[in-house]
Structure 1
Amino acid sequence: MRLASAVTSTVLASTLLFSAIPAAQAAPDKDLPAIESSQLTDASSMLALINPTTKLSPENYTPSKLVNVAGTGMQLRSEAAKAVEQLITDARAAGHSIHLLSAYRSYERQAALFNQYQTKYGTAYAERISARPGTSEHQLGLAADLGYTNSQAELKSAFGQTPAGIWIAKHAVEYGLIIRYPDGKEEITGYKYEPWHVRYTGKEHAKALAQSGAETFEEYFTMLGEASASKKVKATAVAEDEEQDSSAPTDTDSSEESKKSGYGVMKDDDLLVLRFLPPYRDWGFGFSE
């Protein structure tokens, strides 16, 4: 499954979609995980980007291999489910009663939820706190909303200041999860701060994002796109150089051309003659044939 045409290539992803995104301090290409360009354009990829301006195609996309998250009736893709299960287990062991509030949502379920918010709060505010159907990470089966038992801060920005919220922010990367909508980055992500919303990218990319200088997934996605495009350009240049080298004259060809033009190779006898010539003599003669 492919994302919307707005993300049909790595180059478009890095130049068109994010031209308005402030540049992060990019890590050198060698520090970013190597990827295939399809990982940035395929809805089934762990790196698929979904936001208010990037829709799924088809809009009613359903991920394969959804599994139940242990102890709940909610589903995620298997890799994400294992990560969330382990995070919850370890958080509880650390004294934080974290539980799962929401996981995979179908297109139809997201449509109903958005309409509910739209009716209650109006379109403008609904778009800040909820995704329109076809643009929700929950539809990817990679996102989860986490709550805190007996907390008055559930699904509120204050959750980020609770012991549970602080623990999640500190340890999420260890499970391949990121806080998808960080504080103060609404202009980039399209959504207000959601410290309870985690997104699975895999451990390698979660760690690379944290080390890259990017503060949002959008910025990291752009870095990956630019690095991928740069590597393609370099590979093309190397291939062209190799092709030119293979068609260049060989030493043997050069030697034959020299002989035809009347210029031979210097021999020992020539060196002997030159040794005894005074420096003011004209040495403008050809060497031995």
Structure 2
Amino acid sequence: MCYECGSATRRSFARFLAAGAGLTVLAACTPAAPPAAPASSAAPSAAPPSPAATTTPDVATVGQSPEAQSPTPSPSTTLARQFSLDDPASQWVIVNKHRPLAPADYAPADLVRPAVAISASGEAALLNSTTAAAAEAMFAAAARDGVAMVLASGYRSYSTQVTTYNGYVAARGQADADTASARPGHSEHQTGWAFDIGDGGGACSFEPCFADQPAATWAKANAYRYGFVVRYPWMLHPITGYYYEPWHLRFVGVEAATDMAKRGIGTLEEYFGLEAAPAYP
């Protein structure tokens, strides 16, 4: 599978980029405007509990593999609909180029600084409280396996995203900016449910080669145990709208993340039966 491709495939991807194919890799996660492993056997020790279902079940029957490139994925979740896909305070909220936050300037009410290694500062060192607790459990498990993981970029406010996005527009024009930075109100970072990781040694930060670093390979194999998914997987940009970001993790809860991992479903759009969002409408 492309999603599980090894270093040889990633080298091919690097050559593809070098050949001038125009793929922008630092898609939704670049925190500032530009200048002009085998799975661990450790079980989660502090993964947050999943609340009981609050709405009627919404069970679907069709699954898709990570290779699927359909612009209109079929419903594939087998879990009862437990959380809203629209409420930004919900751990299942889906934010992409077709689904802006409502309100656009949403800010989490429970931002905290997790007790993990952090290379970010200010608001970027914060996560919502549920994500922070899960991150603490995950980082601790990685450390037990000898892997140093760092929180490189967490929460990003609407005003910060305005500055970031406008910087890209000024430097590259809007069309190119839309391939490199989420428009304000369209960034997962604004929800507090997502963050970027770095390697303890600082190697390959926000670069394609990060996929081969210990923190990335460990997270790819184990993050689901703590409720996280790699939000923008390899070669699924026709669905997510962003190129591969092995550093960008999104909390959806242990139950959903585990179900996705076991069934080989690569994107939240596919999992929840939503349309692909390769570009802004």
The TM-score range, normalised by the shorter chain, is: 0.5 to 0.7
**2:273 partner SS:** helix
Q: Does 1:64 align with 2:109?
A: yes
Mapped partners of 2:199, 2:236: distance in 1: 24
Partner of 2:72: 21
Q: How does 1:1-289 map to 2 (within 5 A)?
A: 20-23=71-74, 26=76, 32-36=78-82, 39-71=84-116, 72=118, 74-222=125-273
Moved beyond 4 Å, runs of 4+: none
Q: Which runs of 5+ in 2 are unaligned?
A: 1-57, 59-69, 275-281
Structure 1 residue 125, shift from structure 2 partner = 3.2
SS at match of 2:247: strand
The one-letter code of the counterpart of 1:61 is Y
Bigger Rg, structure 1 or 2: 1
Q: Secondary structure at the match of 1:164?
A: helix
CA contact (8 A) 2:227 2:252 kept: yes
**Higher deviation after alignment, 149-158 or 96-105:** 149-158
Find the aligned partners of 1:95 and 1:211 in 2 and give their Cα distance: 25
Using the TM superposition, give the Cα deviation of residue 66 of structure 1 relative to its aligned residue in structure 2, in angstroms.
1.5
Give the root-mean-square deviation of aligned CA atoms: 2.3
**Structure 1: 5+ residue runs without aligned partners?**
1-9, 11-18, 224-289
Query: What residue is the counterpart of 2:11 in the other structure?
Result: none
* 1:227-286 Cα deviation digits (max 9, x unpaired): xxxxxxxxxxxxxxxxxxxxxxxxxxxxxxxxxxxxxxxxxxxxxxxxxxxxxxxxxxxx
- Provide the rounded CA distance (Å) in 2 between the counterparts of 1:159 and 1:195: 7
CA contact 2:111–2:127 (8 Å) conserved in 1: yes
Aligned to 1:16: none
What residue identity is the alignment partner of 1:156?
E
The number of residues matched between the two structures is: 201
Q: TM-score, normalised by structure 1?
A: 0.64
Whichever structure has more helix as a proportion of its residues is 1
Give the structure 2 partner of residue 13 of structure 1.
none
Most deviating of 60-69 and 146-155: 146-155
TM-aligned CA deviation for residue 204 of structure 1? 0.7
Q: TM-score, with normalisation over the residues of structure 2? A: 0.66
1:161-183 alpha-carbon deviations (Å, 9 max, x no partner): 22221111001001100000001
**2-side partners of 1:123 and 1:107: how far apart?**
18
